[in-house]
Amino acid sequence: MIALPKLNGKIIMTIINEKIFKRMTACFIPDKSNMPSRRYDLDWLRILAFGLLILFHTGMFYVENWGWHVKSHYQSQFLENIMLIVEPWRMAVLWVISGISIRFILAKVSLKRFIAMRSYRLLLPLLFGILVVVPPQLYVEMSHNGDLNMNYWQFLYAFFIESSDVFIKYPAGIWPHIDVNHLWFIRSLWQFSLLLLLFLPILNSAWIKQVTYWIFKQHGVIAIVLVTLPIFAIQILWDNETTRYPLGFTFMIYGYLIGWEMNFWQRLEKNLTPLCISMAVCYCAFIYFYNVYWVNTNPDEISDLIKLIGMYIYSTLRIIGVLMALTFAMKFLNKKSKKLSYLNDAVYPFYILHQTIIVVAGYQLSSYNLGPFWEPFLLIIITIMGCLSGYEIIRRSVLLRAFFGLKSKKKYSPKVVQLGYITAGLLIMPLAWKVLNWSVELVSTLI
């Protein structure tokens, strides 16, 4: 007789447990069929969207009717009409790209690694930003408003003392008088990335695929109306101060769903002209609503019907703007380039640094009465050069690369890498706990 090998009970249980684990986690893994190796157009669009964000925040220093941290003497209502071309969809594009990128990442890495990567790459820059980069903005804003009479070093001393009453008029974002300011996007990106994981069994389900496929097959007008309705509902049901959070998460879900769905992208590529025409019509209609009703009329005197019409046009602009941006990128920017890697790494440093440079430099320039041309011109140049100089310093520093969300270029021993992860984990743990608590409080206020 042939002697059969004895089966090890531990090995059998391990195999069974692995199979059970794979079945349990299968619903968290997106369908990899038709997944492209790389979407260079989305990389370029992400870079351009962040560049547009920097120009938009520069414009916020000069618009007349939109509140911001500090303002120039030279303010323009006409500039608002120009900025309204991109205002409805500029952040929506970033959220859609974030949703698409999450789908790509989850198709390649485990949930555990995804959470770890997301936490280190987002919370370390957020921690550095709120403690080092953001405080100068608050100092300038308080000085501009006449609420501060001290130098910057005295301000920093008060800033890091919780018992200080200097900041009573200024809200706390994370810790007492420590706000995320423009870095709210990084905070929300981490929150939404974790939240999206809870929805994966639904988003990856067969019936959701059927629903999205059905929407993709509808007439363009019907499809746009259907995906606009959730955006419109958020606009009219949520408080204006908090709409950016549910809107951001909704667009992230949209991005995850379209991922690499060929039906969507093929149809999008064929409809650039109708999208451009629709964008122009909606923009003209909204500009009319904005100038005739919103700016020059008491809000209480505007009928509810007019408000709803104006808000629906605005919501439609968000959707059409995103579709146009995706279409232009797909048709003209899906090209590999040596500059792409450099610019991709520059995104986070530019984003983290830009608003502080705008606020500080703009505040200083406004004291020289340079005029409505030279002041904004110089502010744009200073902002770009400041961000570029900062990035060149950051990319050459191992420590700063970590604090600005960039991967290390050097290879270290496993022990050094492990020590780095443990140190980073200890640094971000209090921030992660605080952000999660803030998330729970926000959701409780929204429900």
Q: What is the pLDDT of residues 387-409, one digit of tens each?
A: 999 999 999 999 999 999 999 88
Question: How far is the C-alpha of 380 from the C-alpha of 390, rounded, in Å?
Answer: 15
Altogether, the residues listed in the chain come to a count of 447
d(CA 428, CA 128): 10
- With 0-12 / 13-18 / 19 or more C-beta atoms within 10 angstroms meaning exposed / middle / buried, residue 422 is exposed
Distance of alpha carbon 232 from its chain centroid, rounded?
20
pLDDT at 415 over 50: yes
Closest C-alpha among 53, 84, 96 to residue 323: 96
pLDDT-based confidence at 33, cuts 50/70/90? confident
In this predicted model, which residue has the larger pLDDT, 114 or 25? 114
* pLDDT, position 4: 47
Q: Is 117 exposed, middle or buried (0-12, 13-18, 19+ CB in 10 A)?
A: middle
pLDDT category of residue 426 using cuts at 50, 70 and 90: very high
Supply the DSSP symbol for 298: -
- Label residue 30 by pLDDT band (50, 70, 90): confident
Cα R_g (the chain), whole angstroms: 24
Do the beta carbons of residue 70 and residue 359 sit within 8 Å?
yes
Average pLDDT over residues 46-61: 96
Question: What pLDDT is recorded for position 9?
Answer: 57
Task: Return the amino acid letter for 127.
Answer: L
Nearest residue to 179 via CA among 126, 140, 223: 126
> Which residues are CB-neighbours of 194 under 8 A, at least 6 positions away?
115, 118
**447 — pLDDT class (breaks 50, 70, 90):** low
Residue 265 has pLDDT above 90, yes or no: yes
Q: What is residue 213's DSSP assignment?
A: H
d(CA 445, CA 439): 10
How far apart CA 225 and CA 210 sit, in angstroms, is 18
Select from 272, 314, 268 the least CA-distant residue to 290: 314
Judge whether residue 414 has pLDDT over 80: yes
Interior angle at CA 354, CA 351 and CA 356, nearest 5: 125
pLDDT above 90 (res 163): no
Residues 194-204, mean pLDDT to the nearest whole number: 94
Q: Write down the pTM of the prediction.
A: 0.92
- How high is the pLDDT of residue 302? 83
193 versus 11: the higher-pLDDT residue is 193
How does pLDDT run across 130-151, given as a tens digit for each residue? 999 999 999 999 999 999 989 9
- pLDDT grade for 1, boundaries at 50, 70 and 90: very low
Which region among 166-180, 270-284, 345-359, 378-392 has the lowest average model confidence (pLDDT)? 166-180
Helix, strand, coil percent values for the chain (each to nearest 5): 75, 0, 25
Looking at residue 108, the DSSP 8-state letter turns out to be T
The rounded distance, in Å, linking the Cα atoms of 324 and 347 is 22
Characterize 366-392 residue by residue with b for buried, 16 or more Cβ atoms within 10 angstroms of its Cβ, and e for exposed: beeebeeeebbeebbebbbebbeebbe
Averaged confidence pLDDT in the chain: 90
Residue 10 is predicted with a pLDDT of 56
Tell me which residue has tokens 């729970």: 440
**CB atoms inside a 10 Å sphere around CB 29:** 15
pLDDT for 2 equals 46
Whether 188 shows a pLDDT value over 80: the answer reads: yes
**Separation between Cα atoms, residue 163 and residue 176, nearest integer Å:** 9
Give 306's contacts (C-beta < 8 A, 6+ positions apart). Answer: 289, 293
Q: Which residue has the higher pLDDT, 187 or 408?
A: 187
